[in-house]
Amino acid sequence: MEYQTLYYQIKDLMKQGGGVDPVLGIRLEKHDFTSAGAMILPGKSKYYCASHKTIFTENTEAQPPKGKDTVSDKDGVDAVGPPSSQPAATENGSEFKLHPLKMEDSDIAENRHFSYYIMHPVRSGRSKGVILLFHGLNEKSWEKYLPWAVSMVRLTGKSVILLPIAFHMDRAPKNWSDTRAMQKIAEARKVKYPAYSHISAVNTAISIRLGNHPDRLFWSGLQTYQDVYMLIKKIKKGSVSGIAGDCTIDFFAYSIGAFYRLFY
């Protein structure tokens, strides 16, 4: 099968939310995911560490938890985060009033509740092998990775999991991928920062966010680490459909995804 034909075939299957393609020999499943790692993101007024049973609040010394003020520690992940909320964004001119770019990271719902995909071989029984596919920086769509995933399933006989990195793919507000909206902001930034030679609609959202708070790279990376850790725990418990609890787990990573891979 030609690459282009394969690409459009699997792309249509993803748009449908999953299904079986007997020609490609794959079964695509869509799963919902809630990020326990989101509890450590900047923007909250308080953070709770389950290990030390301590609440950290803005500009105050750490205090033990008291009754209903305790922040929930869902799934047993220590919710230790930065001790204060983020300062206001530095680009405050009217030309930068695209609301999602000004939101606190902890308030972005798309990053907490999202979907991931599992591509299985078409066969009965649970997969004995899994490959976690990590994408690159500033990616907004799985489309280019779909033929990769199909090839890995067909060549290895293993299931491939496509789990998005924090604030990427559908874990980010759609406005960040709106070319028209981002182009307006990019043009305004070109006027404001004439020395910046590579400003474009494609990199505007990530440039503003990391320019305002470079530590976002660390916190989103830590969130991603915890998300993958929780997913692997679910796999090992046998609670992910189509995958055996005693399966082998491998990684295939690209760009910044290869950097994240070093932590597992």
**Rg for the chain (alpha carbons), in Å?**
20
The helix (run of H) or strand (run of E) holding residue 153 is: helix 146-156
Q: What pLDDT was estimated at residue 59?
A: 58
Q: Which pLDDT tens digit goes with each residue over 93-123? A: 544 444 567 788 999 999 999 999 999 999 8
Which pLDDT score, from 0 to 100, does residue 61 have? 52
Q: Using one digit for the tens of pLDDT, what is the confidence trace for 138-184? A: 999 999 999 999 999 999 999 999 999 999 999 999 988 888 889 98
Residues of the chain with pLDDT under 50: 62-65, 67-90, 94-98
Could you tell me which of 39, 76, 27, 84 has the C-alpha nearest to residue 59? 84
Q: Which two tokens stand for residue 33?
A: 């995911």
State the DSSP string of 182-213: HHHHHHHHHHH-TT-----TTTHHHHHHHHH-
- Cβ atoms 9, 24 nearer than 8 A: yes
In this prediction, residue 83 carries a pLDDT of 38
